[in-house]
Amino acid sequence: MLFINILKKLKRHRSGLNTEFNNIKNIDAFIFIYYLVIDYTRSFSQRINPTKINLIGKNVELRNKRYLSMGKKVKIGNYCLIDSLGLKGISLGNNVTIGDFSRLIVTSDISNLGSHIIIHDNVGIGEFSRIGGSGGVTIHSDTIIGQYLSCHPENHNFSNPNILIRHQGTTRSEIIIGKNCWIGAKVTVTAGVTIGDNCVIAAGSVVTSSFEENSLIGGVPAKLIRKIR
């Protein structure tokens, strides 16, 4: 029971909750803790403050770290790319989780720096997510997000048929996601969208317009299904 008890303490330290592990064996708890220790030691090689107890997965690439701010107990999954080059860079709050194979990239055009990606406390983002920060993305606290999130805070201009679309530039506009939202897997959010607090977005939705707080939304494009009371 030694390692199960250690796991309980670690869980309580991270989430503030008392959690029971009813079906796990002591050896499985040991293996889980072993990999946590490996992820923690990687924070040393990335020159991240070890007192913050951050966990860095294998083959994580942190580019332009001088523009990166990280709180405590941040977990970055395996094979992630975090590129913070931008006007305001990237800010990750306390207890933020970034799933394996995810990409957070503020600037895609070096000739026109992007704005920012700000992720507040207790946000969890699933694997294979892609967040661009050109026009700015802000995700507020306690929001949980499934796999394959896609945030695009800029659109390509295409109004002139005599000019190649790739030569017409882009229009940027910030994406804001409120507190305590649940965003399902494979959701795409486009430029200029604001999602209010306490919203739920169905898996596979494409969100092209803004929604007020306490909204259940879904579809392509996403529409209001009902209010959450």
Nearest residue to 154 (alpha-carbon basis) of 131, 182, 181, 185: 131
Report the chain's mean pLDDT, rounded to a whole number. 92
Same domain flag for 100 and 154? yes
Expressed as residue numbers, the domain containing 24 is: 1-45
pLDDT tens sequence across 122-168? 999 999 999 999 999 999 999 999 999 999 999 999 999 999 999 99
| Burial class, 28, CB count within 10 angstroms (exposed 0-12 / middle 13-18 / buried 19+) | middle
Same domain flag for 67 and 143? yes
Same domain flag for 40 and 116? no
Reported as a pLDDT band with limits 50, 70 and 90, residue 109 is: confident
114: CATH? 2.160.10.10
Same domain flag for 27 and 111? no
Quick one: CA dihedral 56, 144, 140, 188, positive or negative?
A: positive
Q: What is the mean pLDDT of residues 11-24?
A: 72
In DSSP terms, 188 is beta-bridged to 150, 206
Same domain flag for 41 and 65? no
Same domain flag for 92 and 40? no
Q: What pLDDT score was predicted for residue 198?
A: 98
Q: How many domains does the chain have?
A: 2
Same domain flag for 103 and 192? yes
CA 27, CA 17: separation in Å to the nearest integer?
23
Q: Is the pLDDT confidence value at 29 over 70?
A: yes
Same domain flag for 96 and 173? yes
Same domain flag for 41 and 57? no
Q: Say what the pTM is.
A: 0.87
CA 32, CA 25: separation in Å to the nearest integer?
11
Same domain flag for 114 and 153? yes
Same domain flag for 127 and 64? yes
Identity (one letter) of the amino acid at 76?
Answer: I
| Pairing outcome for strands 137-139 and 116-119 | parallel
Reported as a pLDDT band with limits 50, 70 and 90, residue 50 is: low
CA 1, CA 21: separation in Å to the nearest integer?
11
Cα–Cα distances in angstroms (integers) from residue 33 to residues 1, 10, 23, 57, 195, in the given order: 13, 9, 16, 14, 37
Q: Is the pLDDT confidence value at 191 over 70?
A: yes
Same domain flag for 176 and 77? yes
